[in-house]
Amino acid sequence: MMPSFLLTSLLALPFAGVLGCLLLHEAWSLRISLGTLALFLFGSVAAMLWLPVAAVDVASMFVLDTLAAPLLPVFALVHLLSHLGTAKTVTSSGYCIRSLLAAGLSALALCCHDEYVLLALLVLTVMLPLWELRERGRSSRTFVVYMSVFCLLLGASLLSGLAERTPLGVGLLLLALMVRGGVFPAHSWMPVLFTSATYGTSLLFVLPLMEILVIVRVLITTIPTWMLDIAGVLCLVSAVYCGGLALVQTQVSRFFAFLCLSQTSLVMFAVMLHTANGVTAALCLWMSAALGLTGLAFSIRALESRFGAMSLSEYHGHYEQVPGLAVLFLITGLACVGFPGTVGFVPMELLFSGSYEKGLWVSGTLALAAMLNGIAILRAYFSLFTGKRQQTSISLSVTGRERAGIVLITLMVFGAAWLTPSVVDSRHRTAEELLGLQPTLHAAR
């Protein structure tokens, strides 16, 4: 049996890293942050490997169960890669502290089984992007307005009987989560965040998909069917609409923001299906989308650190200068849309098969969203890496940190696809537990 002190240490590790960044010189903050996140990833994998023997808890409030176990290493990897892909010029002590706090809060939320503490952690994560926007002197008005609406709806749901699962309380919480997730029409804040804050901070706020976590922990067994149907339609509209917007963007950061919105809307739609197959698709797509989008952002950020902000309305021809980043951009982009052989293939297939009961129009809409995303990714690839040849007098080859990130992401994109059958089987059992179709496994000690 895995000792409880290991999970305690695991959850406390990012906060210990924050203390190290505060006490030591700023030059050491990057090393401390990278070391802490690497240890966090190692500890997450170790914790996941121990879980089949017995579930582990720190206290009744925090439990490493079958939902959290596979996601914890994915979250740790997303945080590590976002840090590796951020240029040293912006990795100040404050950035390292925010990154470690985001890792710690995400891990706590993932293992949390107290709904009030989980909602409090959700609110705390909002403070980290706001902190960076204020530190960089960027306008935070749009972000503050939408997140204020999110917090107000969250508070209103608590006052309206969320504890008793009244329809009003449940509906307000679902509405709050859709605002935080950027579901249409509450999507305008995300492109602003990606253009005003660093990619790392934006990714660490968006990709853990905390709103999905709250839905499956708090709402999934009590939410009325008609609410799920309405929310599902809005998620579908958001996936198609944002996919179309990604296709016509001329700014790289806005292209990525809308692509991210489209992909996360698909994950939320899968949860709204409220069937074992649908929730299984959501849990698998949750992991594959996080890895694919992180890899895509990694290549974009590394490219912009060399050439600055680039327009998608012209061809830049950077393939010969940074072929590794070009290949990474292409394989992670294709993984996002479920290209065969990548980590995203089976989750997308599960999404289509899990939605067939809703009718042909749903499958057609999903196909349209995937098509728009795929065309947008290929358009961005051709714009950034093909066309005229660029001549430079200095070497622009990838750094050691970037090379490590490229290798790690490539292994995950292709290597994780071979683990899919066992992962799908595990996620299907977890989906049945969440829906109450079989006894929960994480209660065993």
In a domain, 288, yes or no: yes
Do 105 and 119 fall into the same domain?
no
Do 49 and 133 fall into the same domain?
no
Predicted pLDDT at 445: 32
How far apart, in whole angstroms, are the C-alpha atoms of residue 103 and residue 90?
18
DSSP 358: G
- For the record, the structure tokens of 288 come out as 């594959």
Predicted pLDDT at 375: 93
Helix 199-206 with 252-272: angle, nearest 10 deg: 10
Could you tell me which residue, 382 or 390, shows the higher pLDDT?
A: 382
DSSP string, 166-206: -HHHHHHHHHHHHHHTT-TTS-THHHHHHHHS-HHHHHHHH
Do 57 and 7 fall into the same domain?
yes
**Rounded to the nearest 5 degrees, what angle is found at the Cα of 252, between the Cα atoms of 210 and 95?**
50
- For the record, the structure tokens of 281 come out as 């698709």
Do 159 and 95 fall into the same domain?
no
Q: Which band of pLDDT confidence, cut at 50, 70 and 90, is reported for residue 5?
A: low
Residue ending a domain, choose from 83, 113, 143: 113
Predicted pLDDT at 56: 45
The pLDDT of residue 2 is above 60: no
In a domain, 280, yes or no: yes
Domain span including residue 102: 1-113
Do 157 and 61 fall into the same domain?
no
Residue ending a domain, choose from 113, 147, 170: 113
The pLDDT of residue 443 is above 60: no
Predicted pLDDT at 59: 47
CA contacts within 13 A on the Cβ side of 309: 12
Q: Which band of pLDDT confidence, cut at 50, 70 and 90, is reported for residue 397?
A: low
Residues of the chain with pLDDT > 70: what percent? 88
CA contacts within 13 A on the Cβ side of 21: 26
Residue-wise pLDDT for 401-423, tens only, equals 777 778 888 888 887 766 677 77
Domain count, the chain: 2
How far apart, in whole angstroms, are the C-alpha atoms of residue 357 and residue 369?
18
DSSP string, 191-253: HHHHHHS-HHHHHHHHTT-HHHHHIIIIITTTS-HHHHHHHHHHHHHHHHHHHHHHHH-SBHH
* Mean of pLDDT values over 190-197: 88
Amino acid residing at 147: M
Do 298 and 319 fall into the same domain?
yes
In a domain, 440, yes or no: no
In a domain, 445, yes or no: no
In a domain, 442, yes or no: no
In a domain, 444, yes or no: no
Summary mean pLDDT of the chain: 82
Do 101 and 143 fall into the same domain?
no
Do 303 and 384 fall into the same domain?
yes
Q: Is 354 left (phi over 0), alpha (psi -120 to 50) or beta?
A: alpha
Entry pTM: 0.87
**Rounded to the nearest 5 degrees, what angle is found at the Cα of 24, between the Cα atoms of 298 and 136?**
50
Distances in Å between the alpha carbon of 167 and those of 44, 172, 345? 37, 9, 37
CA contacts within 13 A on the Cβ side of 22: 10
Do 47 and 118 fall into the same domain?
no
Largest CA distance in the chain: 67
Q: Is 64 helix (H, G, I), strand (E, B) or coil?
A: strand
Residue ending a domain, choose from 113, 143, 161: 113
The pLDDT of residue 185 is above 80: yes
Do 250 and 221 fall into the same domain?
yes
In a domain, 443, yes or no: no
Q: Which band of pLDDT confidence, cut at 50, 70 and 90, is reported for residue 92?
A: confident
Do 88 and 212 fall into the same domain?
no
Q: Which band of pLDDT confidence, cut at 50, 70 and 90, is reported for residue 442?
A: very low
Q: Classify residue 133 by burial, with Cβ atoms within 10 Å: 0-12, 13-18, 19+.
A: buried
Percent helix / strand / coil, the chain, rounded to 5: 75, 0, 25
Residue-wise pLDDT for 113-132, tens only, equals 888 888 999 999 999 888 88
Predicted pLDDT at 439: 53
- For the record, the structure tokens of 407 come out as 């290798």
Residue-wise pLDDT for 320-350, tens only, equals 888 888 888 999 988 888 888 888 888 888 8
Q: Which band of pLDDT confidence, cut at 50, 70 and 90, is reported for residue 152?
A: very high
Amino acid residing at 181: G
Do 154 and 301 fall into the same domain?
yes
Residue-wise pLDDT for 38-61, tens only, equals 888 887 777 666 654 344 444 467
Best-predicted range by mean pLDDT (84-98, 156-170, 172-186, 417-431): 172-186
The pLDDT of residue 226 is above 60: yes
Amino acid residing at 405: G
Distances in Å between the alpha carbon of 273 and those of 128, 170, 253, 437? 32, 17, 31, 15
Cβ 259 vs Cβ 336: under 8 Å: yes
